[in-house]
Amino acid sequence: MATATRTRLSTTELAILGLLSYGEHSGYELKKVAEASVGYLWSPAKSHIYAVLPRLVTAGLATAREVPQRTRPDKRIYRITAQGRRVFRDWLEDPGAGPPNTFLLKLFFGRKTSTETVVARIERRRAEVEAELAEYRSIEDLVRDDESSYFGYVTLRWGIAQAEAWLRWADEILAELALR
């Protein structure tokens, strides 16, 4: 039975799948785990987590089991399925899957894929950032001496500074990964 992946999954769904790939968790725990790990680059509302989890179950990507507790409210613990792992891995390995801002999230889950995949993704994104930087530089030449565009120039330089930092970071990481 080929359970097709109907719609492509949202960032939140994939991030949750990723966290579940390290071990089973309840919604409540996932919120905590997310905050303590990916928190600074992805932190969903708890209601969103609770909304997503049942969808993962109906999509066959996770299973749920009820855990009754005496002193605490009952939990619903979610565990990733084999299909869930497959879908997550496909997403991780597909350089074009998902919105472009998933770069860091995928990188965060780098342990779940091969070093070559990670290197390829960084190189790919690096080329994009380099192209953006070149474009910014060409705009810079037009704006630099135009007093009325001063604040446009200031924001542009922000973009340039960030892009340059990005490239330096990428080169450092790529050099490191080459030694692994």
Partner DNA sequence: GTCATCATGTAATCTGTTACATGATTTC
Partner DNA sequence: GAAATCATGTAACAGATTACATGATGAC
Residues in contact with a second copy by CB under 8 A are 37-38, 40-41, 104, 107-111, 118, 132, 136, 139, 148, 150-152, 154-159, 161-162, 164-166, 168-169, 172-173
Question: Which of 3, 32, 114, 144 touches DNA by CB under 7 A?
Answer: 32
Q: Please give the structure tokens belonging to residue 60.
A: 């066959």
| Helix, strand, coil shares, percent, the chain, to 5 | 65, 10, 25
**C-beta closer to DNA: residue 37 or 153:** 37
Q: What is the rounded CA–CA span in Å between residue 117 and residue 111?
A: 10
Question: Which of 2, 4, 68, 72 touches DNA by CB under 7 A?
Answer: 72
Residue 56's nearest CA partner among 19, 17, 94, 91 is 17
| DSSP category for residue 144 | T
Given DNA, a second copy, none, residue 158, with its beta carbon under 5 to 8 Å by kind, binds a second copy
**C-beta closer to a second copy: residue 94 or 171:** 171
DSSP code string of 10-66? PHHHHHHHHHHTT--EEHHHHHHHHHHTGGGT----HHHHHHHHHHHHHTTSEEEEE
- Please tell me whether residue 68 binds DNA under the rule CB under 7 A: no
**C-beta closer to a second copy: residue 11 or 37:** 37
- Please tell me whether residue 165 binds DNA under the rule CB under 7 A: no
Q: Which amino acid would we find at residue 48?
A: H
- Please tell me whether residue 108 binds DNA under the rule CB under 7 A: no
Given a second copy, DNA, none, residue 32, with its beta carbon under 5 to 8 Å by kind, binds DNA
Q: Give the binding-site size for DNA (rule: CB under 7 A).
A: 28
Specify the DSSP element, H or E, that contains 80: strand 75-80
Q: Which residues of 131-154 are buried (b: 16+ CB within 10 A; e: fewer)?
A: eebeebeeeeeebeeeeeeeeebe
- Please tell me whether residue 43 binds DNA under the rule CB under 7 A: yes
The residues binding DNA (CB under 7 A) are 7-8, 10-13, 26-29, 32, 43-48, 50-51, 53, 69, 71-77
